[in-house]
A and B are shown apart, each in its own frame.
Chain A
Amino acid sequence: MAYTFNFRDVFAAKDALLDGLGLTLQLTATTIVFGFIIGLGVAATAVYGPRWARRAAHAYVEVIRNTPLIVQLFIVFFGLPSIGIKLDVITVATIGLAINLAAYAAEIIRAGIESIPRSQVEAGVSLGFTRAQIFRHVVLIPALRNVYPSLMSQFILLMLATSVASQIAAPELFYAGSIIQSRTYRDFEVYTVIAIAYLVLTVCLRLLFGAVHRLAFRR
């Protein structure tokens, strides 16, 4: 039985797809911002904090990195209302994704901080810098520069992972696809278009991050 591919129905729904794409981009951007900031805090705590804080930071990172994102999203989705916090699904998705990203970012940044040789720190100490000054001027920028490629890869993975938010009905690109699929029964065509869209997004993000790298770490 021959199957006739029909992409027309998919393209007819392009507004819905664009709306979904917009939310995917929004989720990606906000999650990267919050995830990076939280991850930086967790990394600094894991390296410089008191013993109890370091243990807490490690525990948080291990729990997140050893459980699936979809389960984490379900826990946030059902957990927040049970302690009386009612939020819209987009905020819930952002929170879940940010908590997830922060753990991976923290691990990457921590490795970067620890890769700065002791001798650099000793130079700062010998000049009379405080610990905070050493972190800010001697450790942080070189550390971030060293791990920027890993961070960039992680951010791209995050963009792809926003598709999982479809499972808590966040109307991002993948969810838009499944709605169209259920309406048109053009299953394969819909997901082919979706897959290509993500692929294009991946390439665009890589170019974007490459440009940011050249601008920020310009020498």
Chain B
Amino acid sequence: MAFVELRSITKKFGDHVVLRDIDLAVEKGEVIAIIGRSGSGKSTLLRCVNGLEGVDAGDVVVDGVRVNDAKADLRALRARIGFVFQGYNLFPHLTVERNITLGPLIVKHVGREEASRLARDALRRVGLADKAHAYADQLSGGQQQRVAIARSLAMSPMLMLFDEITSALDPELVGEVLRVLEAMARDGMTMLLVTHEMNFARRVASRVLFMHDGRIWEQGPATDIFEAPRTDELQNFLGAVLN
């Protein structure tokens, strides 16, 4: 069984069908980029993986745990899945360090020393070791996003989910975030990214999914998707986006 499996997922918002009969298997260490127009269902798909959205039909299974099972211990699972949001969602009333240590302290019940150590390591990995005592509103967008990544990293996740994390950033701040992602990919983290950064996807992703109208329209290695699109929809999308 694959590390993450989506089996025949269907999801509706009211009458609007957002995900149709999605099947996906993700192995450990894969870096999967999900691309497509807005409204194609990419973010919803990602949010189904850690249960932020429920599904109307099908199963979501992560490391053997059925996420959509009402009785599942989602909390324990979520502690092992990192989710990074487009809007960073840092806690504004806490310092950077507190933002990062909070999870290990209250969810994993590690001691204060250990939590501080995890925070320092995570901040070093994202290149912000000197910002431990700053508050979110004192940081740039790129720095805030890297802190958000560090916050997830400190939980030692087995899987990281990224929901368009560079879309809200000024262009000159995108690079610093992508560098962190690239390093994580090299270290073997299993990653699912919804992204508009095509160059990044081409360079770093092991597999690319193109979503259209709620389905996985095409998928394959990055080179196939970007250089040899098979369907009109993907061709049109790439034409519009890679201008």
Contacts and interface: CB of A to CB of B under 8 A. Distances in A.
| A–B proximity contact (CB within 8 A) | yes
Interface of A: 119-120, 122-123, 125-130, 133, 137-138, 141-142, 145, 219
A180 to B, nearest CB: 49
Q: Which residue, of A119, A126, A137, has the highest number of chain B Cβ atoms within 10 A?
A: A126
Main secondary structure of the interface of A (DSSP, over half): helix
B52 A125 contact: yes
B103 interface: yes
A122 B93 contact: no
B242 interface: no
A127 B78 contact: yes
B78 A123 contact: no
Interface in B162-220: none
B81 interface: yes
Given A127-B78, A128-B75, A128-B78, 18 more contacts: A119-B85, A119-B87, A120-B91, A122-B85, A123-B89, A126-B52, A126-B78, A126-B81, A127-B79, A127-B102, A127-B107, A127-B155, A128-B107, A128-B155, A129-B107, A137-B91, A137-B102, A137-B106
A126 B83 contact: yes
B89 A120 contact: yes
A127 B151 contact: yes
Interface of B: 50, 52, 75-83, 85, 87, 89-93, 102-103, 106-107, 135, 151-152, 155
A133 B85 CA distance: 20
Contacts, number: 57
Given A129-B106, A129-B107, A142 B92 contact: yes
A153 B83 CA distance: 40
Contact of A145 (B82, B90, B93, B155): B93
A133 B102 CA distance: 10
Nearest to A123: B89
Contacts of A137: 91, 102, 106
Most chain B beta-carbon neighbours within 10 Å: one of A127, A133, A145, A219: A127
11 contacts: A123-B85, A123-B89, A127-B78, A127-B151, A128-B78, A128-B79, A128-B80, A128-B103, A128-B107, A137-B102, A142-B93
A138 to B, nearest CB: 6
A139 B151 CA distance: 18
Nearest to B155: A127
Contacts of B52: 122, 125-126
Nearest to B138: A219
